[in-house]
Structure 1
Amino acid sequence: MAKQHDISIDYGETRLKGISREEWVTRVQLAACYRIFAHLGWTELIYNHITLRVPGPERHFLINPFGLHYSEVQASNLIKIDLDGNKLSDSNYPVNPAGLAPHSTIHRNIETAHCVMHTHTTSGLAVACLRDGLSMTNFYSAQLNGRIAYHDFEGITVNADEGPRMLASLDGRPVMILRNHGLLAWGETLPQAFAYLWTLQRACDIQVAAQSLGPLIPIPEPVLEQCTRISLQFNPDYGAGVDVFNALVRQIDKVDQSYRQ
């Protein structure tokens, strides 16, 4: 029986030759996450990425095949690449170069960044287009006070030389609003990265809805500090998003378990 705060998935048997059990488990977890994003509507046709480090000393990570919708991603068709984008597993699909600049930069330079997520949701991108960005005016944004970085838009992220500037903008913070572009989050685990991104996305949803109704009510700085300090959903002692991730996996399993293949 799975322990509390363990990722709870039936991983089955490894379906790929020459890979470890640890890599297969990582593949199934990431494939499940792609299906969760599809379930939540966080997709952009075949674009955007979630990447996850493969266990081991090498900084290899898994990425979605460029050409598949998130609802088509399976454990076996995820592509393993190195930090320079070289494919390390057989695939008939290419890797989208736009996924390499932000993801490889963070995986390469932040030792604890095992998972990186990037989205172009409507409300997330809308807030990214605002001059003042995310406002500290709702329950969810209050939990991210001091945890949000901003990076100015430099065009489609295909140039490796943008990496150092993006890293400097991030400055170790777990979430980043890419101005005029979208949202990004990273975590020490996949569920933790998801918890950060979900909270940021929810904050953007509320802000977009509230701004259409009238002036926003500011939250005093001491209250913001208290909210960020005592928020439990990112804390490893309280699962760091694992229990939420498990609940969403159960929803996916009711509909389609092909992500495990």
Structure 2
Amino acid sequence: MTDVQNDALIRDQNNFNKPTRFSAEEWQARVKLAGTYRVFAYMGWDEGIYNHISLRIPGTEYFLINPFGLHYSEVTASNLVKVDINGTLMGHSDWPINPAGFTFHGAIHAQVADGHCVMHVHTTPTLAVCCLEDGLSYSNFYSAQLYGKVAWHDFEGITVHADEGNRILASAGDKPVLMLKNHGPVIIGHTLAQAFSLMWLVNRACECQLATLSMGKPQSIAEDVLKRCVADSLNFDPRFGAGEDALAAFIRLVEKQDPSFKY
């Protein structure tokens, strides 16, 4: 094999060429979502084989979600599962989806016009704050950016019952962050990157709140300052990508460690 042929082979391997069964738009969504699952694993936001990120395939009524049984570090573009709004498998998959995975995700995708990405985690700091009687405290840099954007839903047990999906949706209202009491946060984003940025804010806000509570009483922030923080937050501003640059940076980071998510 010549050097030119070898270089071409390496380029092909690094490009992880799109399988013919996927459209260009679907494959792009698959690669980006698989990369985000790897970012969650890197951040320690994974929960074994549980929890979910669901994403609408652009221009369709179909969604991608993680295969049930695989750790986030094993998710790849090609093994993500494609489902319809009811969680019914579209095409072939070697893996099922978690029954709890699409109960409220599907309800949100079906009824929130721009709710194209839904994330749910059980990280220790976010779940701990969900268990606090007073909930999230708007007393730090991160939570200040979430003021007026958080709703709450009472704990009903494991989310495997379809009727709870509508109640979760009703609790969320027009808020992009829904804290499930005693359970964990749900993020509703226009895009994968915006949802990631919101999840970043929620996690950091909860981490800082727990650290503050371990030392004493949090200082309050004036409401007018909180409102300015929300207005000035780049995480919500489409002019600055609403998190696209931040997510891209993290995906580059995990790609350097293991690019297999692009398969």
TM-score by length of 1: 0.93
The letter of the residue matching 1:126 is: A
Matched residue, 1:13: 17
CA contact (8 A) 1:129 1:179 kept: yes
Amino acid of the structure 1 residue aligned with 2:28: V
Candidates 66, 72, 80, aligned match of 2:82: 80
Q: Check if 1:24 corresponds to 2:27.
A: yes
RMSD: 1.1
- How far apart are 1:252 and its partner, in Å? 0.6
Structure 2 residue aligned with 1:214, among 198, 207, 216? 216
Q: Percent identity?
A: 53
Task: Report the CA distance between 1:226 and its aligned residue.
Answer: 1.1
| CA displacement, residues 60-98 of structure 1 (integer Å, 9 cap, x when unaligned) | 100000000000000000000011111003112111011
TM superposition shift of 1:248:
0.5
Alpha-carbon distance in 2 for matches of 1:187, 1:85? 19
Match of 1:34 among 16, 37, 41: 37
Residue 189 of structure 1 aligns to which amino acid in structure 2?
A: T
Counting only pairs closer than 5 Å after superposition, residues 113-124 of structure 1 correspond to structure 2 as 113-124=115-126
Tell me which of 227, 232, 238 is aligned to 1:230: 232
Q: Please tell me whether the aligned partners of residues 194 and 236 of structure 2 are also in contact (alpha carbons under 8 angstroms).
A: yes
Q: Does 1:47 align with 2:50?
A: yes
Q: Distance in 2 between matches of 1:11 and 1:101?
A: 35
Q: In the alignment, which residue of structure 2 is the partner of 1:171? A: 173
Find the residue that maps to 1:198 and give its secondary structure.
helix
CA distance in 2, matches of 1:125, 1:135: 14
Q: Secondary structure at the match of 1:194?
A: helix
**Which residue identity does 1:110 align to in structure 2?**
V
Q: 2-side partners of 1:222 and 1:103: how far apart?
A: 34
Contact map agreement 2:234 2:243 (CA 8 A) in 1: no
- AA of the residue aligned to 1:105: A
Question: Deviation at 1:225?
Answer: 1.0
Residue in structure 2 matched with residue 109 of structure 1 by the alignment: 111
Query: d(CA) in 1 for partners of 2:102 and 2:235?
Result: 28
Q: Report if the CA contact (8 A) 2:117-2:191 is conserved.
A: yes
Q: Alignment length, in residue pairs?
A: 250
Query: C-alpha distance in 1, partners of 2:157/2:62?
Result: 26
| 2:120 aligned partner, one-letter code | H
Larger radius of gyration: 2
Structure with the bigger percentage of helix: 2
Contact 2:104 2:166 in 1 (8 A): no
TM-score when scaled to structure 2? Answer: 0.93
Q: How far 1:11 sits from its partner (Å)? A: 6.0
